[in-house]
Amino acid sequence: MNQTASQLQGEPIPTVGENAYRRIRSDIIFGRLEPGQKLKLERLRDAYGASISTLREILNRLSSESLVVAEGQRGFEVAPVSVENLREIAALRLLLEVHALEQSFAAGDMEWEGRVVAAYHKLATLERRMSDGDRSETELWKRYDWEFHQSLISACGSTVLMETHAGVFDKYLRYQMIALSFRGDIAAEEHRIMHECALDRDARRAREVLVRHVEGGVEHALATGTIR
C-alpha cells in the first residue's frame, strides 16, 4: 500500500519511468525519503531501476510539483517542510474542499451516498483499531481518510477541481505522515458528523466541521514539534 491521493485517480501507465516516478513520489509523501534528504542519481538508479537520464527528468517533474528542490549544479533534494508551508497547504486544501463539498452535496445522488457510506465504514473501522492502540496500519488508515474525504466531494462535477484537490491533499498527507499525529476520537467524531451531513445534504454544517477538522489537524501536527 503506497498509493497517493492523485495516483488513486489516474489510469495506470505501465512504463519503467512512470513506475519509478510513482514510487519516488509515494516515498516522499509517506516519508520514506525524508525532507531535505539529498537525492543522488546513482543511488536512486539502484533503488528504483531507472536510468540516470530518466531519473533526472523524474526529479525535474517532482520539482515542478514542489516535492523536490532542484539546486542547479548541486543536484536534487527532497523538498523541506516548514510551518509556513503546512499552513499554506492546509488553507488551500480548505478552499478547494469546502467549495467542492458544497457542489457535491447539491448534486450528489444515491450512487454518491453509497460511496460516502462505504468509504466512511472503512475509515471508522480503522479509526477504532487505531484508537485501541493498533498502529500497524497507519498507511491504510491514511488511505481510508483520503478516500472518505474524496468520496464526499466526488459528486462536485469537476475533474479539474478533483485533480487539483488530490495534488494538494498529497502534500497535506506528507505533513501528516511526518507528524504522525493521531487525534483519536475527536477526528473520528468529525468524520462521523460529516458523513451524517452528507446524507442530510447539510453543506453548511459539513463546512463548519471540515474547517475545524483541518485546522485542528494542523495544530495537533504542529504540537508534536516534528515540523519546524
Residues that bind other proteins (CB under 8 A): 6, 10-11, 13-15, 17-18, 21, 51, 53-54, 56-58, 60-61, 64-66, 70-73, 85, 88-89, 91-92, 95-96, 99, 158-161, 163-164, 168, 171
Nearer CB in complex with other proteins: 24/123: 24
DSSP annotation of 73 reads G
Q: Which residues contact 7 (CB under 8 A, 6 or more apart)?
A: 22, 25, 26
Nearer CB in complex with other proteins: 39/126: 39
What is the nearest approach in angstroms of other proteins to the Cβ of residue 182?
A: 25
Nearer CB in complex with other proteins: 55/187: 55
Burial of 168-192, coded b for 16+ CB within 10 Å and e otherwise, reads bbbbbbbbbbbbebebeeebbebbb
What is the nearest approach in angstroms of other proteins to the Cβ of residue 61?
A: 4
**What separation in angstroms does the CA of 46 have from each of 52, 64, 91, 167?**
10, 24, 38, 28
What is the nearest approach in angstroms of other proteins to the Cβ of residue 16?
A: 9
Cβ proximity of 178 and 226 under 8 Å: yes
Nearer CB in complex with other proteins: 21/141: 21
What is the nearest approach in angstroms of other proteins to the Cβ of residue 88?
A: 4
What is the nearest approach in angstroms of other proteins to the Cβ of residue 163?
A: 7
What are the grid coordinates assigned to 2, written together? 503506497
Q: Which residues contact 153 (CB under 8 A, 6 or more apart)?
A: 97, 100, 101, 103, 104, 161, 162, 165
Nearer CB in complex with other proteins: 57/185: 57
